[in-house]
C-alpha cells in the first residue's frame, strides 16, 4: 500500500442549484488560528456589517486569513483569472481595525502579526477620514481596506471549525469538541458562558444532545477528579421563555431516550447544571457549580446525502496513519467507525471528494477477520461488485480492506500495515 502524507486539499465546486462557486477544503497549516477550517466563497455581495450576521447564522466567522487560507483563496482567484473573470473590488475577509485605528485584527479577535505585510503599496495605513475599517483580499492577493458599509465587493470568504483546538484540553466526540473547566470560586451562568467564548470564539456552554455525549462528559468529569455531588454549568436555559429550554445558539433542548429530563422545580430556576447522574436546574446567581463545560459544533469535512437529500453521514480524515486495528480504535475513541460503503454511489462519492494522492490508500471497515468479508460492526457483507479486479486475492493474512483510488474499488491487505484511514458517523 502506498504511504499517505498531508491533508485534504481545497477544491473548487459548482453548486448547480445556487449557480455559485464554492471553495471548500481544510487547512494543513496552523498560523493565527489553531483549528482546521472549511472555506466557503459566496459571490452574492453584502456590506461587511450585514454579512457578519450571515456567517453567524452558519456558526461561521469571516475568514481569518492565514497561510493555508491564502492558498485556498488564491486557488479561487486563479480560477477566476483563467475564466477571464476580473475581481476589481475584491472579496471581504475578517480583517478590520474597527476597535483602534491601524491596529488590525481578525473578526474572531485575534491580532494580526506584526511580521505580516500583505497590504499593497497604496493600501496601508488606511484613511481614518473615510472610516476604511474593513478588509478585502484582491485578485493579486494584496489586502485592501474599505468602508464596512461599501457594497461593491464581488464576494466574501468564510471559515468554519472542522477540528478541535490543539490547546486548552479539548476532547472530541463525533462532530463536537468539549472543554471542562473546574473553578476555584463560584461563577454564574453568564460568566461561565463568557469564559467558554474566551476559550474559543465559536464555543458556548455545552450542548448535550445524546447519551454518548453525556457519558463522554461524565467520563471527563471523573478523570478531572470531580465527584458525584459536583455540578457543572452547561448551556440549557429557559431564561427567555419559561418552560422552553434552549441552548446559547438558539437550538431547542431535547431529552433523549426518555432520560435526563430536568428534575428540579423550575419556577425562577432558569439555568442548568449537569451532574454525573442527572441534570438539574438552578438560579444562576446562587448555583453551586464546581465549574462549567463548553462545546464547539464541528462542521463535516465531507457529508453524504441520501436519495431524499437528508444528510446520512459525516466522514472525517485527520492525516493520521495506523494499522487497521489502530485505525478502528481511533475512530471508535471519537464515537465513529471506519468508513462503511452501503452503496456503490457512496463509495464513488468518497472517491470523487475525499481521495487525493496525499491520502493514499485509506483503511475502510471491510475485513475478513471473522472468516468472510463484512463491514466492521455492521454485520453487513461486502458487496462483491466493490472489489477491484483480482481482489480479494485470498492471500494469507490479507484480511483488511482499503480503498484503492487508482482502480476505484476495494482491495485487501495485511491488517498490520500502516496507512491512512477515514472515519464515519451517521447523522440519522
At residue 390 the predicted structure's pLDDT band, cuts being 50, 70 and 90, is very high
Single residue among 236, 265, 297 that ends a domain in this structure: 297
Do the bridges between strand 311-316 and strand 302-305 make them parallel or antiparallel, or are there none, so unpaired?
antiparallel
Question: Does 216 share its domain with 287?
Answer: yes
The answer to which of 162-166, 231-235, 338-342, 364-368 has the lowest mean pLDDT is: 162-166
pLDDT in tens, 281-331: 776 556 678 899 999 987 666 666 554 555 578 888 877 899 999 999 999
Looking at the structure of the chain, the number of domains it has is 3
- Percent of the chain residues topping a pLDDT of 70: 65
Give the separation between CA 198 and CA 388, rounded to whole angstroms. 50
Where is the domain boundary, 161, 179, 213? 161
Do both 25 and 59 map to the same domain?
yes
pLDDT at 156 over 80: yes
Same domain? 184 vs 258: yes
Please check whether residue 5 lies inside any domain of the structure: no
DSSP 278-337: -EEEE-TTT---SEEEEEEEPPPSEEEE-TTS-EEEEEE--S--B-HHHHHHHHHHTT-E
Residues 322 and 269 in one domain: no
Same domain, 248 and 192: yes
Instruction: Decide if 285 is inside a domain.
Output: yes
pLDDT, average across residues 137-151: 85
Range of the domain at 363: 302-426
* pLDDT band at 340; cut points 50, 70, 90: very high
Per-chain mean pLDDT for the chain: 74
- 50: pLDDT strictly greater than 60: no
Distance CA 424, CA 364 (A): 10
Would residue 241 count as lying in a domain? yes
Residues 31 and 153 both lie in one domain: yes
pLDDT reading at 428 higher than 60: no
pLDDT tens for 76-106 read: 566 555 555 556 788 888 888 888 888 888 8
The enclosing domain of 140 has a CATH number of 3.10.100.10
Distance CA 89, CA 77 (A): 12
Q: State whether 317 and 376 are in the same domain.
A: yes
pTM of the predicted structure, to 2 decimals: 0.55
Q: What is the pLDDT of residue 381?
A: 95
Query: For residue 318, is it within any domain?
Result: yes
Instruction: Tell me, yes or no, whether 326 and 208 share the same domain.
Output: no
DSSP helix/strand/coil, 338:
strand
Amino acid at each position: 500500500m502506498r504511504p499517505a502524507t498531508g491533508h485534504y486539499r481545497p477544491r473548487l465546486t459548482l453548486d448547480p442549484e445556487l449557480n455559485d462557486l464554492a471553495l471548500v477544503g481544510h487547512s494543513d497549516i496552523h498560523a493565527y488560528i489553531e483549528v482546521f477550517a472549511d472555506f466557503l466563497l459566496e459571490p452574492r455581495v453584502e456590506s461587511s456589517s450585514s454579512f457578519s450576521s450571515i456567517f453567524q447564522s452558519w456558526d461561521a466567522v469571516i475568514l481569518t486569513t492565514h497561510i493555508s487560507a491564502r492558498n485556498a483563496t488564491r486557488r479561487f482567484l486563479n480560477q477566476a483569472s483563467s475564466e477571464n473573470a476580473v475581481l476589481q473590488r475584491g472579496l471581504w475577509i475578517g480583517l478590520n481595525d474597527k476597535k483602534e485605528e491601524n491596529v488590525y485584527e481578525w473578526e474572531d479577535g485575534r491580532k494580526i502579526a506584526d511580521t505580516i505585510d500583505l497590504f499593497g503599496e497604496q493600501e496601508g495605513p488606511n484613511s481614518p477620514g473615510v472610516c476604511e475599517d474593513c478588509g478585502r483580499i484582491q485578485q493579486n492577493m494584496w489586502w485592501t481596506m474599505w468602508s464596512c458599509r461599501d457594497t461593491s465587493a464581488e464576494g466574501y470568504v468564510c471559515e468554519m471549525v472542522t477540528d478541535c483546538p490543539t490547546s486548552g484540553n479539548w476532547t472530541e466526540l463525533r462532530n463536537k469538541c468539549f472543554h471542562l473547566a473546574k473553578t476555584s470560586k463560584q461563577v454564574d451562568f453568564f460568566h461561565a458562558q463568557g469564559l467558554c467564548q474566551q476559550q474559543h470564539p465559536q464555543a458556548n456552554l455545552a450542548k448535550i444532545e445524546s447519551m454518548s455525549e453525556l457519558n463522554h462528559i461524565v467520563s471527563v468529569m471523573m478523570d478531572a477528579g470531580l465527584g458525584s455531588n459536583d455540578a457543572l454549568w452547561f448551556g440549557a436555559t429557559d431564561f427567555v421563555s419559561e418552560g422552553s429550554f434552549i441552548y446559547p445558539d438558539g437550538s431547542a433542548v431535547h431529552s433523549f431516550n426518555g432520560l435526563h429530563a430536568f428534575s428540579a422545580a423550575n419556577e425562577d430556576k432558569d439555568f442548568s447544571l449537569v451532574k454525573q447522574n442527572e441534570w438539574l436546574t438552578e438560579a444562576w446567581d446562587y448555583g453551586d457549580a464546581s465549574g462549567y463545560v463548553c462545546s464547539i459544533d464541528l462542521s463535516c469535512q465531507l457529508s453524504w446525502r441520501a436519495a431524499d437529500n437528508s444528510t446520512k453521514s459525516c466522514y472525517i480524515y485527520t492525516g493520521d496513519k495506523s494499522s487497521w486495528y489502530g485505525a478502528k480504535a481511533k475512530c471508535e475513541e471519537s464515537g465513529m467507525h471506519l468508513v462503511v460503503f452501503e452503496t456503490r454511489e457512496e463509495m464513488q462519492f468518497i472517491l470523487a471528494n475525499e481521495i487525493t494522492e496525499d491520502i493514499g490508500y485509506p483503511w475502510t471497515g471491510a475485513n475478513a477477520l471473522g472468516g468472510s468479508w463484512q463491514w466492521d460492526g455492521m454485520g453487513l457483507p461486502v458487496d462483491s461488485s466493490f472489489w477491484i479486479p483480482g481482489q480479494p486475492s485470498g492471500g494469507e493474512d490479507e484480511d483488511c480492506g482499503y480503498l484503492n483510488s487508482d482502480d476505484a474499488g476495494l482491495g485487501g491487505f495485511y491488517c498490520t500495515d500502516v496507512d491512512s484511514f477515514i472515519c464515519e458517523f451517521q447523522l440519522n
